[in-house]
Amino acid sequence: MPIATPEVYRDMLDRAKAGSFAYPAINVTSSQTATAAIRGFAEAGSDGIIQVSTGGAEYLSGATIKDMVTGSLALAAYATEVAKNYDVNIALHTDHCPENKLDGFVRPLLKASEANYEKYGVPIFQSHMWDGSAVPLDRNLEIAQELLAICNKLDVVLEVEIGVVGGEEDGVANEINDQLYTTTEDALKTVEALGLGEKGRYMAALTFGNVHGVYKPGNVKLRPEILKECQDAIVAKYGTDKGDKPLDLVFHGGSGSLPQEISDAVDYGVIKMNVDTDTQYAFTRPVADWMLKNYSGVLKIDGEVGNKKQYDPRAWGKEAEAGMARRVIEACENLRSAGTHK
């Protein structure tokens, strides 16, 4: 199917909220990982989101070029063609963007979407993330208001982060401390600044102990009940016009989360969960296995010629694609989105 239009994307998010499931948002860094993610969604019978970070976008543009906008637009163009061959809806999203990279990443992409919108009636990316976790909340929301106004004109959904995700991703590192837990006061300030849809649609990554990186199950101390407390505080102040889960929530830093923690977070309004670390391993692990099993074929040892059928990138690449696709299917099953495509 074609890349999701704004209308299709909004319907995806609405169905997730109404049906108490969430979409995996898979970080990709190449055409091959993008294909693997789309394949996984299709095999799971789930619509989905593929997303690119600042570092991923640089890599996509070429290791010696490192241009975030070029890499992002290249991904969008590639995904637009490839997604047509799969029977699910795929949305395109840009991941964590701190303040010092807005002018080199999100703002130029919004300008590109403006031109595309004027010509074709759709943006290039269906949503963008502004990561203001490193600045004071008032500054975070000030920038969010500016970006939301632009996004709203282009039928683009904005994602904001209210709180801090610990650990490290793409060179952005945060300590693991009490700042990892969003307060109800923070959530209410967010709604006061951004509204509940009347100023434009947005998703909020409220933090409840989330940590980027690799952790064994049980090592990350999540408190998903914070999400419910924030939703309840908003309902208490603004009423039930938007239901009992007024905010569209995002789950970051999910590696090492227990199944019950994921389930609770979805019950409390999470409709998008970022999956990066696990799919990186799922892509790379089959390659390592292939190389070890076919060691003498992939290398020209002692003057021999090797085995072209084993060192051909397509040979080990298809194993990597299949491995990552399986992890995407698992994510869809864990988040209850498997089989929800209509």
Token couple for 51: 């997303």
**Cβ-count burial of 222 within 10 angstroms (0-12 exposed, 13-18 middle, 19+ buried)?**
buried
Distance CA 203, CA 173 (A): 22
Query: Minimal CA–CA distance to 258: which of 311, 282, 222?
Result: 222
Query: Minimal CA–CA distance to 147: which of 91, 108, 186, 192?
Result: 108
Token couple for 137: 């909340």
The CA-based angle 261-234-176, given to 5 degrees, is: 45
Distance CA 151, CA 130 (A): 11
Which residue among the candidates 47, 95, 155, 278 is catalytic per the annotation? 95
Judge whether 95 counts as a catalytic residue.
Answer: yes
Residue 268: count of CB within 10 angstroms of its CB: 24
Measured torsion, CA atoms of residues 140, 145, 148, 152, in degrees rounded to the nearest 10? 170
Residue 40: count of CB within 10 angstroms of its CB: 28
Contact 34, 79 (CB under 8 A): yes
Distance CA 288, CA 285 (A): 5
Active centre residues (catalytic):
95
